[in-house]
């Protein structure tokens, strides 16, 4: 496999999406199926700012800010009315939202791929005269992903805010009885999750492949599988899952065919199910006692 | 003091509470008794704001509680230990306690120290996941978590549920002592009328959503008709 | 007379046969009146209704969600396409049956993991499947013909049928009506089988599995078998619908079945009424009219159909419809219609219907 670093680079994007899903699961016990689309949309808005001449980092800040706002708004307007209803309802609503966002993005900005100029060089290093497919940008990506993972893990494990977020998702009623403003926690969970998801989309857009409206579909699926396999309770597991899928795709790409690379995620999922036949998190054990 | 006035609550077509009125005086234990389905749990849930009443009012001293959000009612100093205790099994003992202290802005270290002193068994298990606790330990934790916030009012929903008789007796003692030492207003919902009446100052009897009797605990305990029809227990 | 509504509500195959038969005949009669364009829309709608029937069975009655039905449509479509390409003379029924069977078997891909996954995880798996279909179709060119796809002969209208048509556009009218009629008949048959399934013991077991799987297990229902068979049924129906769809277009290409089609299916089913047979029919009807719906919205809002916005209006409208329906009318249009029906029924002071058959 000659392009390990390419696999890692793509894996970072998956890992960040997986991380955003871990965040939203840990704080709300709802999965946002429109996560990828929302991130894409916010990033597009950030990208148009670049057209106006703002620098790369401004684009990132704007994208993340718009994404967080979008996440909070979504929770308030679309998800809030659905608490207490069957758990497929928010999934369906988010799927609809996904459709709207992608169509809207194509309508506003067309379906052509867009790029943002990267902040770090994407030129590969040479080692002993051979091309090593590693660039400063890839190093930056990996450090960024690991950094975010550590921050998120620390947030949930060690901070009062993290405790409140977890409690609000695990036992909302009991948490309210303890005086915790559960609805604020839920909104915040959505905002945080959206923010991390946006970083994934921004990295994708800065990479060599760029971003187009339906790009995040495949990325969301990979991130979802990574989160499911790595563990929705574990930021570390999610990141590992993402990197694993990225590497698997690279493997398929090198030894089989580029077109089938998207199957990498599905193959990992199947393998995971075979290793753990009891299923992925099928325990519906009572949470409160 | 908690004052409930003409409280009516519907769950769809079912009338869970019908014009219930009573007072739980400050610093005293008021027992709420009645058979299963009488509306006792609904009453507590309405007081703490989880359920919205159709008509009627709930007040804590001069402050109106009806229509106030649950988390704000909790922040006013009302602690509700729900049916089943509500201990969050996926968190550790200490994490549950921290949660209890979070909204109340009390000194966490001091609060933890206090509760561990009162319930030493919890200190031994502070880093354990609550899923591993026994019923009695969970009850202790639920109480400690409620008390760490230094509430004025304590609502207890069937604390003796699933506990062995000796532990229940201990529990009741603890409740009585706490009420006295912390000057708490306690509303105690119990199916085990005997134990409840032993420590309560006042009692209210619910039957099919209506308050059919209220008075001093002694009077209620000695009323044979009540015992037979609503409590189903022969009190010695 | 007892009233045909009460009659239909009785749980007998007989009454269902008559009910579905009547509905089919009425629809066939309508095809006579409709212009060719409308007829081909109707045919497409019938194909989609078949897919939605399977989806309704899955979601409404076993409580599981699938975003992957566009994938199963593709499987059926390619199965039909590949076969028809190489064996052009096979009777239509055989090709359709083949597509149905292959669709059902491919349902195993999801069905087997479905026994181990729940809720969002299962939805995610179906999403992965739907998203994977286009790349796979594009890649395995030897079987699927790659980007270009497969072409099939369009359905030939038999001579005796064409004889009914005269005038300038006789053959166009005849062809359009023939395909529409075929589609309606196939859909009617599929509908009949699904109606039987709904009211059979498996159907009732399904309802148990959906509402309370502990109770179901206690009653001896094999949970995993129930769940995976539901997926296979849905996949089979999707395969049939996909084959119908591609036969109508006389081709099948990778872009015919994108992920957005799954979203559209979901929208139509939710709009019509989750888990109900009439909801599936309503969904198909709405699909037939969706080009008109889109142009109506375009004219209402002054959008130019050839602009970027215009090209994406369908996606926007359907996405919005799904959100709004889920938030405000989660049980679909059927839930609005049946109270109306009950109201009318009560005005006639008839004794209550024998059972709550959801037809």
Which of B12, B49, B96, B103 best tests the A interface by mutation, with the highest count of A CBs <10 A?
A: B103
* B contact chains, 3+ CB pairs < 8 A: A
For residue C27, what pLDDT is reported? 79
- The H or E element containing residue B220 is helix B217-222
Question: Residue A89: which of C129, C311, C326 has the nearest Cβ?
Answer: C326
**Residues whose CB falls within 8 Å of the CB of residue A31, separated by 6 or more in sequence, listed in order:** A21, A24, A25, A91, A224, C120, C124
| pLDDT at residue A285, as a whole number | 35
- C and B touch per CB criterion (3+ pairs under 8 A): no
CB atoms within 10 A of CB C147: 12
User: Does B88 contact A180 at a Cβ distance shorter than 8 Å?
Assistant: no
Closest chain C residue to the Cα of A231, Cα to Cα: C121
Interface of A with B (CB under 8 A): 160, 163-164, 166-167, 170-171, 173-182, 285-289
For residues B144 and B152, give the distance between their C-alpha atoms in angstroms, rounded to a whole number: 14
Contact at CB, A224 and C127, closer than 8 angstroms:
yes
Contacts of C132 in chain A (CB under 8 A): 262-263, 266
CB contact under 8 A, C113 and A92: no
Amino acid A50: pLDDT: 76
Q: Percent of chain A having pLDDT more than 70?
A: 89
C-alpha distance from C5 to closest chain A C-alpha (Å)? 31
- Would an 8 Å CB–CB cutoff place A73 in contact with chain C? no
* Under 8 Å between Cβ of B96 and B127: no
The residues, any chain, with a CB within 8 Å of residue A223's CB and separated by 6 or more, are: A13, A14, A15, A16, A17, A18, A20, A21, A35, A36, A200, A242
| Beta carbons of A92 and C270 less than 8 Å apart | yes
- Chain A CB contacts of C264 below 8 Å: 99
Q: Which of A231, A19, A274 is nearest to A146 (CA)?
A: A19
Mean predicted confidence (pLDDT) in A48-63: 81
Q: Phi and psi for B7 in degrees, rounded to 5?
A: -80, 125
Q: Give A-chain residues touching C326 at CB under 8 angstroms.
A: 82, 89, 92-93, 96
Cβ-based neighbour number of residue C211 at 10 Å: 11
| Residues forming a β-bridge with B92 | B129
Nearest CB to A180; choose among B82, B89, B103: B103
Q: In whole angstroms, give the CA distance from residue C255 to residue C161.
A: 33
Cα-Cα-Cα-Cα dihedral sign, residues C21, C27, C30, C34: negative
**In Å, how far are A184, A209, B94, B102, B119 from B105, measured between CA atoms?**
18, 50, 17, 6, 21
pLDDT of residue C306: 74
- Protein fold of A2-112+141-275: ABC transporter involved in vitamin B12 uptake, BtuC (1.10.3470)
Domains of chain C: 13-328 (1.10.3470)
Identify the CA nearest to C110 among candidates C124, C92, C89, C99: C124
Q: Which residues of A touch B134 (CB under 8 A)?
A: none
Residue % of chain A over a pLDDT of 90: 30
- Give per-residue burial for C90-101: e unless 16+ CB within 10 Å, then b: eebeebbebbbe
Q: d(Cα C299, Cα B92) in Å, to the nearest integer?
A: 60
Give the ipTM: 0.90
The answer to whether the beta carbons of residues C300 and C246 sit under 8 Å apart is no
Domain ranges for chain A: 2-112+141-275
A2-14 confidence digits (pLDDT tens): 678 888 888 999 9
Q: Report the alpha-carbon distance of residue C62 to residue C233 in Å, rounded.
A: 12
Strand, coil or helix: B222:
helix
Chain C environment of A101 (Cβ under 8 Å): 319
Q: Give A 146-185 residues with CB within 8 A of chain C.
A: none
Name the residue with higher pLDDT: B50 or C35.
B50
Total Cβ atoms within 10 A of residue B162? 15
C24 neighbors C188 (Cβ within 8 angstroms): yes
| Beta-carbon separation of A289 and B85 below 8 A | yes
| Cα distance between residue A191 and residue A38, in whole Å | 11
A257 in contact with C at a CB cutoff of 8 Å?
yes
Chain A residue numbers with beta carbons less than 8 Å from the beta carbon of B80 are 177
Q: B97 to chain A: which residues are within 8 Å by CB?
A: none
Task: Determine the pLDDT at residue C217.
Answer: 63
**Chain C contacts in chain A segment 93-132 (CB below 8 A):** 93, 95-104, 106-108, 110
Strand partners, B31: B188, B203
Nearest CA in chain A to C128: A221
| CA B199 – CA B159 distance, rounded (Å) | 14
pLDDT tens, position by position, B134-183 = 888 999 999 999 999 999 999 999 998 888 888 888 889 999 998 998 88
Kindly list the residues from chain A whose CB atom is less than 8 angstroms away from the CB atom of residue B104: 179
**Residue C39 to residue C180: CA distance in whole angstroms:** 6
Q: B79 — phi, psi (to 5°)?
A: -110, 130
For A124, list phi and psi in degrees, rounded to 5. -75, 150
- At residue A288, the pLDDT reads 27
In a structure prediction context, what are the per-residue pLDDT tens digits for chain C, which is 359 residues long? 445 555 445 557 777 787 778 878 887 877 777 777 777 888 888 889 999 988 888 876 667 778 888 889 988 888 888 887 777 777 778 888 888 898 888 888 777 777 777 667 777 788 888 878 877 777 776 666 666 667 766 666 666 666 666 666 677 777 777 778 888 888 888 888 888 877 777 777 666 666 666 666 666 666 677 778 888 889 999 999 998 888 887 778 877 888 878 888 888 888 887 777 778 888 888 888 888 888 888 888 777 777 777 778 888 888 888 899 888 887 777 666 666 656 655 554 434 443 333 33
Strands (E), B61-209: 63-64, 78-81, 153-157, 185-189, 202-207
Residues 137-156, chain B: which have Cβ within 8 Å of A? Answer: 138, 145, 149
With helix as H, strand as E and coil as C, how does chain A read?
A: CCCHHHHHHHHHHHHHHHHHHHHHHHHHCCCCCCHHHHHHHHHHHHHHHHHCCCCHHHHHHHHHHHHHHHHHHHHHHHHHHHCCCCCHHHHHHHHHHHHHHHHHHHHHHCCCCECCCCCCCCCCEEECCEEECCCHHHHHHHHHHHHHHHHHHHHHHHCHHHHHHHHHHHCHHHHHHCCCCHHHHHHHHHHHHHHHHHHHHHHHHHCCCCECCCHHHHHHHHHHHHHHHHCCCCHHHHHHHHHHHHHHHHHHHHHCCHHHCCHHHHHHHHHHHHHCCCCCCCCCCCCEC
Find the closest chain A residue to B146 by CA distance: A178
Report the pLDDT value the prediction gives residue B48, as an integer from 0 to 100. 93
- How many angstroms away from the CA of C56 is the closest CA of chain A? 14
Mean pLDDT over the full length of chain A: 83
Query: Both tokens of residue C60?
Result: 């409404």
Q: What tokens appear for A74 in the block?
A: 């979504």
Query: pLDDT higher for B85 or C299?
Result: B85
pLDDT of residue B74: 93
Neighbours of A71 (CB within 10 A): 30
């Amino acid at each position: 496999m000659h392009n390990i670093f390419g696999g890692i680079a793509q894996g970072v994007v998956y890992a960040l999406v997986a991380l955003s899903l871990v965040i939203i699961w840990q704080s709300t016990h709802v999965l946002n199926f429109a996560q990828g689309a929302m991130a894409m949309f916010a990033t597009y808005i950030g990208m148009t700012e670049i057209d106006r001449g703002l620098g790369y980092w401004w684009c990132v800040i704007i994208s993340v800010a718009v994404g967080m706002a979008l996440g909070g708004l979504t929770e308030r307007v679309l998800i809030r009315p659905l608490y207490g209803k069957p758990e497929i309802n928010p999934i369906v609503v988010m799927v609809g939202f996904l459709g709207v966002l992608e169509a809207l993005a194509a309508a506003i900005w067309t379906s052509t791929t867009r790029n943002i100029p990267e902040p770090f060089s994407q030129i590969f290093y040479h080692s002993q005269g051979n091309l090593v497919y590693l660039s400063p940008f890839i190093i930056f990506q990996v450090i960024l992903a690991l950094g975010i993972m550590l921050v998120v893990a620390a947030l949930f494990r060690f901070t009062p805010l993290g405790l409140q977020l977890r409690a609000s998702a695990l036992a909302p009623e009991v948490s309210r009885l303890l005086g915790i403003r559960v609805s604020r926690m839920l909104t915040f969970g959505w905002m945080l999750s959206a923010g991390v998801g946006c970083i994934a989309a921004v990295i994708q857009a800065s990479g060599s492949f760029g971003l187009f409206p339906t790009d995040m579909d495949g990325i969301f699926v990979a991130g979802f599988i990574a989160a499911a396999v790595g563990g929705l309770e574990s930021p570390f597991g999610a990141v590992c899952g993402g990197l694993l899928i990225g590497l698997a795709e690279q493997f398929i790409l090198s030894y089989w065919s580029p077109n089938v690379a998207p199957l990498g995620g599905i193959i990992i999922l199947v393998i995971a199910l075979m290793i753990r036949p009891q299923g992925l998190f099928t325990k519906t054990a009572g949470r409160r006692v | 003091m908690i004052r409930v006035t003409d409280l009516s609550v519907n769950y769809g077509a079912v009338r869970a509470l019908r014009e219930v009125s009573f007072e739980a005086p400050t610093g005293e234990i008021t027992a709420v008794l009645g058979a299963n389905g009488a509306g006792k749990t609904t009453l507590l849930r309405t007081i703490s704001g989880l359920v919205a009443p159709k008509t009627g009012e709930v007040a804590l001293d001069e402050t109106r509680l009806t229509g106030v959000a649950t988390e704000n009612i909790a922040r006013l100093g009302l602690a509700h230990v729900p049916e089943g205790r509500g201990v969050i099994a996926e968190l550790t003992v200490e994490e549950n306690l921290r949660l209890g202290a979070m909204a109340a802005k009390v000194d966490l270290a001091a609060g933890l120290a206090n509760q561990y002193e009162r319930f030493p068994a919890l200190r031994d298990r502070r880093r354990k996941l609550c899923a591993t606790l026994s019923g009695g330990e969970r009850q202790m934790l639920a109480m400690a978590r409620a008390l760490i916030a230094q509430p004025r009012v304590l609502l207890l929903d069937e604390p003796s549920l699933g506990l062995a008789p000796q532990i229940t007796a201990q529990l009741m003692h603890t409740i009585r002592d706490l009420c006295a030492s912390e000057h708490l207003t306690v509303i105690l919902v119990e199916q085990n009328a005997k134990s409840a009446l032993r420590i309560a100052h006042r009692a209210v009897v619910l039957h099919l959503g209506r308050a059919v009797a209220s008075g001093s605990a002694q009077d209620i305990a000695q009323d044979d008709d009540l015992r037979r029809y609503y409590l189903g227990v022969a009190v010695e | 007379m007892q009233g045909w509504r009460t009659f239909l509500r009785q749980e007998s195959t007989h009454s269902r046969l008559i009910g579905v038969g009547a509905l089919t005949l009425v629809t066939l009669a309508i095809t006579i009146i409709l212009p060719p364009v409308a007829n081909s829309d109707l045919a497409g709608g019938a194909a989609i209704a078949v897919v939605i029937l399977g989806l309704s069975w899955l979601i409404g009655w076993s409580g599981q969600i699938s975003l992957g039905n566009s994938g199963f449509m593709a499987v059926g479509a390619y199965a039909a396409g590949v076969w028809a390409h190489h064996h052009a003379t096979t009777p239509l029924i055989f090709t359709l049956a083949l597509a149905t069977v292959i669709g059902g078997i491919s349902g195993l891909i999801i069905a087997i993991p479905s026994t181990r996954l729940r809720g969002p995880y299962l939805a995610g798996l179906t999403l992965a499947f739907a998203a994977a279909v286009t790349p796979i179709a594009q890649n395995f060119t030897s079987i699927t013909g790659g980007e270009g796809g497969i072409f099939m002969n369009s359905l030939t209208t038999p001579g005796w049928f064409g004889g009914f048509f005269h005038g300038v556009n006789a053959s166009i009218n005849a062809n359009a009506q023939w395909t529409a009629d075929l589609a309606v008949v196939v859909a009617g048959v599929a509908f009949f089988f699904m109606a039987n399934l709904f009211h059979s013991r498996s159907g009732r077991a399904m309802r148990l599995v959906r509402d309370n799987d502990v109770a179901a297990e206690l009653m001896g229902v094999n949970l995993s078998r129930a769940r995976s068979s539901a997926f296979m049924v849905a996949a089979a129906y999707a395969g049939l619908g996909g084959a119908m769809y591609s036969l109508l277009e006389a081709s099948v290409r990778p872009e015919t079945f994108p992920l957005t089609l799954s979203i559209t299916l979901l929208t139509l089913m939710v709009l019509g009424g989750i888990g109900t047979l009439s909801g599936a029919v309503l969904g198909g009807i709405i699909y037939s009219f969706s080009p008109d719906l889109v142009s109506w919205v375009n004219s209402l809002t002054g959008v130019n159909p050839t602009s970027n916005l215009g090209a994406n209006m369908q996606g926007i409208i359907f996405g919005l419809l799904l959100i709004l329906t889920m938030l405000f009318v989660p049980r679909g249009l059927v839930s609005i219609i049946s109270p109306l029906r009950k109201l009318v029924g009560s005005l006639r002071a008839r004794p209550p219907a024998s059972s709550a058959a959801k037809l």
